[in-house]
Amino acid sequence: MKIGILTLRLHNNYGGILQAYALQKVLQQMGHDATVIDKSRFIKLPIFSISRYTLYFKRLIRKILFDRSLAVRWDKKYNDEIVIISANVYPFLLKYIKRIEANRDYSNINPNDFDAFVVGSDQVWRPMYFGQTIIPCAYLSFAKGWKVKRISYAASFGTEDWEYTEEQTSECKELIKLFDAVSVRESSAIELCEKHFDTSAMHVLDPTMLLDASDYIKLFEEANTPKSPGSLMCYILDENKEKQEVVSCTEKILQLKSFSVNSKYEVADAPLEERIQPPVEAWLRGFNDAEFVITDSFHACVFSILFEKPFIVYGNKNRGIARFHSLLSIFGLENRLITNSEAALRVINEPINWEAVNAKKKEWQEKSYNFLKKNL
């Protein structure tokens, strides 16, 4: 079966890339021809567009009056920089993920391109991430009336709050009714689907957890990735003073050397050399080499579990905290989610029962795999 995977744009986010890789790999192992429907990493403004030149003019005025460093042709600046920022990451996409590029509203996807669509995973159903004006596309609005199978796998709203407008809710409710099966990544999403879409959904694992650590070890071994420069892995998306203090305290308590496998790629005004992302394989190797992990990332939390590494995770409310609660409650690891330095220091030396965690993982892997097998 030819399957199109609809997810968020594969950018420089390790978790986003690896969830797409894992889902595609699992579908291929089932015998399907799976392709990720991606978006261009470049900003493409219409060449002959009044809005384009109006925007340029406004930025020129701002540059003259307020900020001499402001780029007037911001799209060109972004496009030039993204090539450099993603130089270490993009080869992974080219090598391991079969992709096609969709335009903004997916209107270049044709009825005969696929036999089925799988929507997910990641926060594909969060309007602020997928796109406020095109969120119906995440429910396959462009394929309305087509004779195709449509399911969601581990689709996420990212939050337990409802962020849709009335109009978005109405349109997406109509579209989700056309799905053959719906599964979501968070337990809170089951409630959201029932309350706002009048639709039943099944709770499944993030697709990265359908594979085992050994599958990811092969990736960095094949790339001959150098050993990590420490044993306390820090993958922190939103840095602050408190988190840095926790890192310093953990170094002293556990007698470990900290290292980081990320950049400031989301910080637009940071020096370009500090925004270059390390390779995906280096990020994976970090978990393998670590004796302890400190993070505020959902997928770093996932990979700590996969690699059986003790960890603490700072809840990230703006990025969506329901994700953490849902994931950790599956494995009985709710105590690893912390919100302040005092809680962090209490948890550091608490052991994790990996035998119990792995038993639960095996149970959920089977349940999640069977959802895909049954509905495709």
Say yes or no: 168 and 277 in one domain: no
pLDDT, position 6: 98
Say yes or no: 247 and 140 in one domain: no
The low-confidence residues of the chain, meaning pLDDT below 70, are 45-75
Q: Is residue 94 part of a domain?
A: yes
pLDDT, position 49: 58
Domain count, the chain: 3
Q: Is residue 219 part of a domain?
A: no
Say yes or no: 196 and 120 in one domain: yes
Cα–Cα distances in angstroms (integers) from residue 367 to residues 21, 357, 374, in the given order: 20, 15, 10
Q: Is residue 214 part of a domain?
A: no
Cβ contact 336:311 at 8 Å: yes
Q: What's the rounded Cα separation, in Å, for the pair 102 and 107? A: 8
Residue 356 main-chain phi, psi, to 5 deg = -70, -40
pLDDT, position 340: 86
Q: Is residue 349 part of a domain?
A: yes
Say yes or no: 149 and 164 in one domain: yes
Q: Is residue 217 part of a domain?
A: no
Say yes or no: 249 and 336 in one domain: yes
pLDDT of 238-249, one tens digit each?
Answer: 999 999 999 999
Say yes or no: 237 and 323 in one domain: yes
Say yes or no: 21 and 102 in one domain: yes
The dihedral formed by the CA atoms of 353, 356, 361 and 363, expressed in degrees to the nearest 10 = 180
Question: Residue 116: which domain range?
Answer: 2-43+82-209+365-375
pLDDT, position 347: 94
CATH number of the structural domain spanning residue 31: 3.40.50.2000
Say yes or no: 310 and 335 in one domain: yes
Say yes or no: 289 and 327 in one domain: yes
